[in-house]
Chains A and B, each alone.
Chain A
């Protein structure tokens, strides 16, 4: 029996993996091939090589498969039992890895939260049950008291994976102790950090594990109703989660008298509508209640007064995904992984200027260098590592001198960044850090809910200063003003969004201050990103007249014919920079 696993996460679906699944199924049916099964799975993680197809039991990994390749895979691999060499995974040096476990990308990873992602069909509850699904729930209901569950989670050392890292056991305890007849369990799947897709991949690849964990939480705190708040921008995740809920209801797993006990529980999906601030827990509650997602003043905390003023437990998707595994394998097993203060693993969405873009799960304490170079394969196009941003618009950048910092909650905080929900964007030396700070500030300006002045007005003023700098109109005084303002906004905003919004500015100022000064004093952008400061020229001595730049120019601003030395007509040039990378002789700069 062979199983053809086809990745059906958002990344691979965008490059037509749905057609690949259809083609495989059609070929198998038309040719009457037996003992082959096609399974659509969640994300395998190595999105840069997608669409990915894996054939079991031998675990052969085919990369960048196109719908028209299906015929060859069936004929050669399934029928003739040979490998389709041209589709095998090749690393940056052209070396072939046949099997999934031979690929460097996977070697340093440890999959706990993502355990089932990419190996089961998320739309089939039986697939989940076959890998011990709902066993943790059964164990909790039949063998454990509520306090034992909380103790187990406390001992495991699990901390909130949404970014702030609050101890999960403590959170559960507060919600359990809170008085109230009606309590709620909420799952925060409003993954707003641009460039992060951990939670989405879990929902797409293993939705049942989140339902199971929410049920365990419901039992422990005494809630009979759960809500999962998902971004509407995640249609596949929403669709699969609904299927999972329906299947669990059909099986009597969700509903009344669960596992023959008097415990009852049901889950409902609530869609977000595109507001980053709704990832903040109290704003999320406002949104579930049907209002503008503006944060509430804390305290009271949601554990005491949450949804409809009832005690509410809110955890992030990845936090929940760890729970069933902790219950089944024990807190000792879990707490052995990771560092002193940060236990277990963390999922990161690795993106930006790195070769192996994708989803990785590593033990806490893994260094940034290991993630970027060993797993990520390093920086493409022969460029240098400049910085990495963790925590998205709320986090900070980490420069090259901290590449060996172990990644855990405390170490990241110490160097001015934060764990965040797991976005990890790598930047090479072609990136301007002033422009990057402006990018993140632009994000918070448009996502600020407007409730409190420091965030609403402060971030806007900061953005304006950054705009001045990138336009070449800034002064040294502006940099000081920016720094002062950043501190004020961080100290006086009411919610996490505003308090952390200045982080990208503070950290880029801390590590790349000289670039800010260059923009202000020399009116120079060393990365050639800030257009107002850019002057694109061709060095005549280096130009060989090949004309490649001319062909790449979208506005025909590059002049010259035949083998003549080319020149750029400044009036026509839109400074898009396309030609910069086209020149084989590095004559343009």
Chain B
């Protein structure tokens, strides 16, 4: 399962690729699985897919960068995703996003230097009844406010500090 680049065999990738026929139309399915498993798609994974499906690296890169779900860089330990779907936008999710940018000092799509936080702007996650909504990893925070976001960030920071000590 290693992504260090030195190990030759990646067991997960091998098992995953064996599940699919080496046909071009499986590319997006494979990328979805890799993204879900590792949280991003490394160059090493891309090479393995390229060899297996006999597609050029350039084409794979083209597909990865086209779809917003795929990322080339790892996400933070806590991925804060703020819904900017219309229902949430109308209920003020823009303010929550502004606050997150200010607190974390990163832009959507970026990860903090310490690797603790990453910020993401998502389109509708379908919890419109709870708008505005943000998620931290998979946990949904509904009827969100700026102070609720502050609280969540503070809690994570405290936890991380304690763990360090």
Contacts and interface: CB of A to CB of B under 8 A. Distances in A.
Contacts, number: 148
B78 interface: no
A351 B128 contact: yes
A257 interface: no
A389 B86 contact: yes
A202 to B, nearest CB: 13
A302 interface: no
A566 to B, nearest CB: 18
B86 A197 contact: no
B142 A15 contact: yes
A398 interface: no
Contact of A194 (B32, B70, B91, B123): B123
Nearest to A10: B126
A274 interface: yes
B146 interface: yes
B133 interface: yes
Interface string B47-76: 000000000000000110011111000000
A287 B28 contact: yes
B24 A289 contact: yes
A290 B22 CA distance: 12
Interface string A153-194: 000000000000000000000000000000000000000111
Contacts of A10: 125-127
A232 B131 contact: no
Given A14-B133, A195-B87, A290-B28, A232 B69 contact: yes
A14 B126 CA distance: 9
Contact of A358 (B24, B67, B129, B133): B129
Contacts of A48: 129
Interface centre among B62, B89, B140 (most CB of A within 10 A): B89
Given A192-B123, A290-B25, A273 B31 contact: yes
Interface in A231-280: 232-234, 270-276
B67 A274 contact: yes
A352 B87 contact: yes
A389 B85 CA distance: 13
A290 B150 contact: no
Contact of B85 (A49, A195, A431): A195
B128 A271 contact: no
B84 interface: yes
A373 to B, nearest CB: 18
Contacts of B69: 232-233, 273-274
A578 B150 CA distance: 14
A336 interface: no
B124 interface: yes
Nearest to A52: B129
A196 interface: yes
A464 to B, nearest CB: 18
B27 interface: yes
Given A10-B126, A273-B68, A574-B102, A194 B86 contact: yes
B63 A290 contact: yes
Given A274-B67, A290-B25, A425-B90, A196 B124 contact: yes
Given A11-B126, A14-B140, A48-B129, A271 B28 contact: yes
B126 A352 contact: no
Interface string A554-578: 1000000000000000000010111
B130 interface: yes
B105 interface: no
A357 B128 contact: yes
Given A273-B32, A292-B66, A554-B147, A194 B130 contact: no
B98 interface: yes
Given A14-B130, A200-B126, A273-B68, A425 B146 contact: no
B90 A427 contact: yes
A427 to B, nearest CB: 6
B158 interface: no
A234 B126 contact: yes
Interface in A467-513: none
Given A290-B26, A449-B66, A197 B89 contact: no
A271 B145 CA distance: 33
A150 interface: no
A423 interface: yes
A189 B92 CA distance: 28
Interface of B: 24-29, 31-32, 35, 62-63, 66-70, 84-91, 94-95, 98-99, 102, 122-131, 133, 140, 142, 145-147, 150
25 contacts: A11-B127, A11-B128, A14-B140, A15-B142, A194-B87, A195-B86, A196-B124, A197-B124, A233-B69, A233-B126, A271-B28, A272-B28, A273-B28, A290-B27, A292-B62, A292-B66, A349-B87, A351-B128, A425-B86, A425-B90, A431-B90, A439-B89, A449-B66, A554-B99, A576-B95
5 closest residue pairs by CB, A with B? A47-B129, A194-B85, A351-B87, A273-B67, A195-B86
Given A14-B140, A15-B142, A49-B129, 15 more contacts: A10-B126, A47-B129, A50-B129, A50-B130, A197-B128, A272-B67, A289-B25, A351-B128, A352-B87, A353-B90, A357-B87, A425-B90, A443-B123, A576-B146, A578-B147
